[in-house]
């Protein structure tokens, strides 16, 4: 990045600005397009008006007297209403505190504020996906944590229990079952993977789907009802309920996988695009400078 170009720093989700935000180290931000030399070792107060600071939603952001910077401060609301409802409601009142509000919530948020920007979640947890060994040796996986607080959590465990009871060719992985060191271990060797979003809301899809595509597994997908807005679904198996998932698991075969493979490969680049969460966000913020 050229040293005189506008910079975009992102505060990590778990980080806090603290009582004196101006002293927050810029070296602790994420810099998807690179941290300029002029900002190395500096603090939030050293950003200037051409620069951008992007935050994840926190209740304190709506009330704090200052963000401690001259930079343009934006916020991104990525989770569905079931998780971020309070932030969606707050931003309808306090949107003016931010340069831009990045979100995929169209009817309940973007339609009500002047600075909303359509921005789906996507993201990825798979690193170096271009170098993965995606040789298929197993049929179907399902990755699940031990959580049971949201609708998608419950359906995942329901499918695992059914698969075990009926001797289906499905391997349950993740924190709730067989832990793995890297997520690709639960996707790359498999022809199919059951992908269930935590919540089925328009425009909401996550790394669960993106990572499956990047690892060359056909998604057996229950989630975003308008996912065809973002991907050609020919390389996927779209499900509307748990019964559809059960039927898809029963039907999984080498022949079906091979028939889906060309369409699956065709959406790899799109998955790479949606997986680049922070890069996409930075480019949105810099679009005003072009």
Q: pLDDT by residue (tens digit) across 87-127?
A: 999 999 999 999 999 999 999 999 999 999 999 999 999 98
Number of domains in the chain: 2
- Based on the fold, state whether residues 134 and 97 are members of the same structural domain: no
Same domain for 100 and 147, yes or no, is no
- Residue 228 binned pLDDT confidence (cut-offs 50, 70, 90): very high
Are 98 and 156 found together in one domain? no
Q: Are 194 and 61 members of one domain?
A: no
Residues 6+ apart with CB under 8 A from 209: 195, 197, 219, 221, 223, 224, 227, 231, 271
Indicate the pLDDT class of residue 3, thresholds 50, 70 and 90.
low
* CATH code (residue 159): 3.40.50.11660
Instruction: Tell whether 161 is covered by a domain.
Output: yes
CA gyration radius for the chain?
21
Q: Is residue 222 part of a domain?
A: yes
Residues 108 and 194 in one domain: no
Boundaries of domain holding 53: 8-119
Asked if residue 43 and residue 157 are part of one domain, the reply reads no
Domain end point (choices 52, 86, 119): 119
| 137 shares a domain with 55 | no
User: Are both 143 and 87 inside the same structural domain?
Assistant: no
Mean pLDDT of 226-239: 98
Going by C-alpha positions, the residue among 118, 1, 101, 121 that lies closest to residue 50 is 1
Residue 141 has pLDDT above 70, yes or no: yes
More confident residue, 75 or 288: 75
Cα-Cα-Cα-Cα dihedral sign, residues 152, 107, 289, 231: positive
The answer on 100 and 173 residing in a single domain is no
Same domain, 61 and 198: no
* Average pLDDT score over residue span 242-268: 98
Q: Which of 99, 119, 139 is the last residue of a domain?
A: 119
Q: Determine, yes or no, domain membership for 284.
A: no
Q: What is the largest CA-CA distance in the chain?
A: 62
Query: Would residue 180 count as lying in a domain?
Result: yes
Buried b (16+ CB within 10 A) or exposed e, 106-125: eeebbeebeebbebbbbbbe
CB 117 within 8 A of CB 100: yes
pLDDT at 289 (0 to 100)? 66
Q: Residue 264's pLDDT band (boundaries 50, 70, 90)?
A: very high
Residues 146 and 209 in one domain: yes
Q: Which residues pair with 221 in a beta bridge?
A: 195, 238
User: 159 and 256 share a domain?
Assistant: yes
In the predicted model, is pLDDT for residue 7 greater than 80? yes
């Amino acid at each position: 990045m050229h040293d005189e170009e506008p910079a975009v720093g992102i505060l990590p989700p778990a980080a806090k600005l603290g009582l004196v935000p101006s002293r927050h180290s810029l070296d602790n931000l994420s810099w998807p397009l690179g941290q300029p030399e002029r900002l190395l070792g500096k603090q939030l107060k050293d950003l200037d008006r051409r620069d951008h600071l992007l935050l994840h939603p926190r209740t304190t952001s709506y009330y704090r007297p200052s963000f401690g910077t001259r930079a343009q401060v934006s916020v991104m609301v990525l989770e569905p209403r079931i998780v971020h409802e309070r932030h969606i409601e707050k931003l309808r009142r306090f949107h003016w505190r931010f340069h831009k509000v990045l979100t995929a919530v169209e009817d309940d948020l973007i339609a009500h504020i002047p600075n909303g920007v359509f921005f789906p979640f996507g993201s990825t947890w798979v690193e170096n996906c271009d170098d993965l060994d995606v040789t298929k040796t197993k049929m179907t996986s399902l990755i699940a944590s031990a959580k049971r607080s949201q609708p998608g959590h419950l359906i995942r465990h329901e499918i695992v229990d059914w698969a075990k009871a009926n001797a289906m060719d499905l391997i349950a992985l993740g924190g709730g079952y067989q832990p793995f060191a890297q997520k690709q271990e639960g996707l790359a060797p498999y022809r199919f993977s059951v992908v269930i979003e935590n919540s089925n809301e328009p425009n909401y899809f996550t790394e669960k789907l993106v990572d499956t595509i990047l690892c060359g597994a056909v998604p057996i997908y229950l989630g975003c009802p308008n996912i065809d807005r973002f991907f050609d679904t020919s390389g996927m198996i779209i499900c509307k309920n748990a019964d559809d998932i059960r039927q898809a698991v029963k039907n999984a075969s080498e022949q079906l996988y091979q028939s889906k493979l060309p369409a699956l490969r065709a959406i790899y680049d799109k998955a790479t695009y949606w997986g680049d969460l922070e890069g996409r966000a930075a480019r949105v913020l810099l679009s005003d400078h072009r």
